[in-house]
Structure 1
């Protein structure tokens, strides 16, 4: 079910993240058609928002749909698996054969890298983005604050992966530490794994 607000939030995420190597690689079917890529990413993020609401956590940046943070949480595994399977079927149709193959391969590569870290029970900040026109107003930190508070209340660790080296100081200010830098073969780009651990207090 999609509301106008839901649509605005998906469009903001698409606009914010359209240059990200992961999203460019999974939308390979669009070629150089940036308008088509934006439309495909609109649908991609609408699916991600739906999955997050069903089996994770979604925090919205503001009342104008300027962005969101989507988390995988400690929801029951069966619920998370069912929501992921539902989104996976939709992504297969949305991205096309090559795009979905890229999606699957990148996820597998990242999961392989993640396996050496003790984060299997951690929360995962899967998507975070603010519309470029609304950046620089503190929305990035404020949209993450409720999720991080929930992580802390659960005394859980959390992690994220980013291809954007410029975002590393931002996440460091929120308590994330560098866990690794990896070369990802499908995108041909490096990404960074950052983790945030519960306080020992």
Structure 2
């Protein structure tokens, strides 16, 4: 059990440049902005913590799910979760909570747990057990509007399609729903999340 957080603890980056791009892209997203504010009133400290969070999320996806990075580029990424057996799921959860406590704040863990628990409860009964989850898709604001989003997801979607596996996502950004619908996702629920105070959509894509 951790009694104190240490946002100044050393952290070894694996994908620093891409993590910076993801933080910049998602800083106004209700979930990520709420997490960022939970770290500190110091803007720079909070930003650095979220850059670490993005880096950790990519490392976590590489270990437990799927990670797509454009070859030789640093403008964005897609980060996916996959179903795990009970032992691996518990290990993944412990590692994530340890990261948040060590590199963010105890309050950040409470915020994260409250949001994720609520969203998981809302998804219960809507999703098949084998479904893959697109947890983060983001492009550096400098590169947005260039049609790069599809390239970040089509490889993993194709992989899931080849295995007959559906995928889903949760988005707090209504403007993004048209993009996802073009990829074959359909909106199945619109929910108000109480911690962020924002609505989000659950969208599911059946394998082609």
**TM-score (norm. length: structure 1):** 0.91
Aligned to 2:6: none
* 1:33-85 deviation per Cα after TM superposition (whole angstroms, max 9, x unaligned): 44333211110011101100111110013522111001112565543442332
> Does 2:147 match 1:138?
yes
Aligned to 1:30: 40
Please tell me whether the aligned partners of residues 122 and 157 of structure 1 are also in contact (alpha carbons under 8 angstroms). Answer: yes
**What is the root-mean-square deviation of aligned Cα atoms in Å?**
1.7
**Aligned equivalent of 1:185, options 184, 194, 198:** 194
Aligned to 1:42: 51
> SS where residue 159 of structure 1 aligns?
strand
> Does 2:159 match 1:161?
no
Aligned to 2:5: none
> SS where residue 104 of structure 2 aligns?
helix
Q: Structure 2 CA distance, aligned partners of 1:65 and 1:105?
A: 31
Please tell me whether the aligned partners of residues 18 and 37 of structure 1 are also in contact (alpha carbons under 8 angstroms). Answer: no
Q: Structure 2 CA distance, aligned partners of 1:9 and 1:169?
A: 25
Gaps of 5+ in 2: 1-11
**Equivalent residue runs for 1:74-85 within 5 Å:** 74=83, 78-85=87-94
| Paired residues, number | 196
Change over 3 Å in CA distance of 1:84–1:150 after alignment to 2: farther
Please tell me whether the aligned partners of residues 100 and 108 of structure 2 are also in contact (alpha carbons under 8 angstroms). Answer: no
> Hey, which of these two has a bigger chunk of helix by percent?
1
* 1:80-130 deviation per Cα after TM superposition (whole angstroms, max 9, x unaligned): 442332122111222212221110000000001000303332000011100
Please tell me whether the aligned partners of residues 125 and 159 of structure 1 are also in contact (alpha carbons under 8 angstroms). Answer: yes
Q: Structure 2 CA distance, aligned partners of 1:187 and 1:180?
A: 17
Aligned to 1:87: 96
**TM-score (norm. length: structure 2):** 0.88
